[in-house]
Amino acid sequence: MERDPKKQKVDDGPTAALFAGDALWYADWQEASGELTLKQRMNTKDPELILFSSWFCPFAQRAWITAEETGINYLWKEINPYYVDSEQPGGYTKKSMTLDEKKTKYPDFIASSPRGLVPAIKHKDISLWESLPVAEYIDAIRGAKLMNRQDPCEAARQHIWCNHCTDRIQKKYYQALVAQEKQTEEAALKEFFSECRMLANAMRDDGPFFNGKEFSMVDIALAPFWQRILIVGGHYMGLKLPTEDLAFQRLETWWQAVRSRPSVAATIVCDARLIASYSDYSKGVATSDAARNYIK
């Protein structure tokens, strides 16, 4: 992205910029509600749960939204699983540290997340990782309002569509983002649009959310990715959704309701900063677990 290098403060410190005033923070980034929320949650007293998370991570944001939605008293532990490169805006890369390096830097995190991926949680003596199981667990200990556990068919339906968000929508979007040739990008986007239509057609009509009036885990599964599709995809690929299409109008109604939900609004970080953190993906040079294993 085009930036004035004079605006970047120089740092030789070990961590990428977290908050305004940190050494690698760009002068024109504004802390948004997400930064303010996590700053506050880093100082939680007597937490019931520890959330190991990264401010930029859409998977972690699923657990984060769930924690906010359920009102659990959680402590935020910021993890940067990637190397810092002071030549890059904010120092952000998508180049994974080794598991041993992560273990040295964040022993508690690795004790809860054996692959070294965020999100992970520690609740009493229970450690869990992987975004959807973590989000489901937080929901379960807070009264199971986001995932239906009474009706087996409804529970299965929610799982099907949560997985669709991860395995289809999210994956095709990232494939387009990392593509270095226009043809590959366009082919991935074509499939991405088709997977979005399929989701839109499964949404109930009696309210804006996936389940109509009821905010649920399917909304949480997609929201962080939709935010990035619009902001990051728009920036690096000039991605425009086909808004003349009824399915995308349904998705726009869905997004307006979801982004205004207080639990989601509380997790929205600064757009320009989020864009900066995706630079390695857009250049096709990421070596993250996702880049190596499932953005193919």
Ligand X SMILES: N[C@@H](CCC(=O)N[C@@H](CS)C(=O)NCC(=O)O)C(=O)O
d(C-alpha 255, C-alpha 251), whole Å: 6
Indicate the residue among 250 and 273 with the shorter CB distance to ligand X.
273
With CB under 6 A as the contact rule, the residue among 8, 53, 54, 170 that binds ligand X is 54
> Residue 130 interacts with ligand X (CB under 6 A)?
yes
Pair 157, 281: CB distance under 8 Å: no
d(C-alpha 139, C-alpha 67), whole Å: 8
d(C-alpha 161, C-alpha 108), whole Å: 32
The region of 51-59, 140-148, 208-216, 222-230 touching ligand X under the rule CB under 6 A is: 51-59
> Residue 34 interacts with ligand X (CB under 6 A)?
no
What is the closest distance, in whole angstroms, from the C-beta atom of residue 171 to ligand X in the complex? 11
DSSP codes, 73-97 = -EEEEE---B---TTSGGG----BP
> Residue 112 interacts with ligand X (CB under 6 A)?
no
> Residue 109 interacts with ligand X (CB under 6 A)?
no
**Upper half-sphere CA count for residue 268 (Cβ side, 13 Å):** 16
In this structure, what DSSP letter does residue 242 have? Answer: -
| Cβ neighbours of 245 (radius 10 Å) | 14
What is the closest distance, in whole angstroms, from the C-beta atom of residue 64 to ligand X in the complex? 12
With CB under 6 A as the contact rule, the residue among 52, 55, 59, 106 that binds ligand X is 59
The region of 17-25, 178-186, 255-263, 282-290 touching ligand X under the rule CB under 6 A is: 282-290
> Residue 118 interacts with ligand X (CB under 6 A)?
yes
List residues near ligand X by CB under 6 A.
54, 57, 59, 81, 96, 116-119, 130-131, 288-290
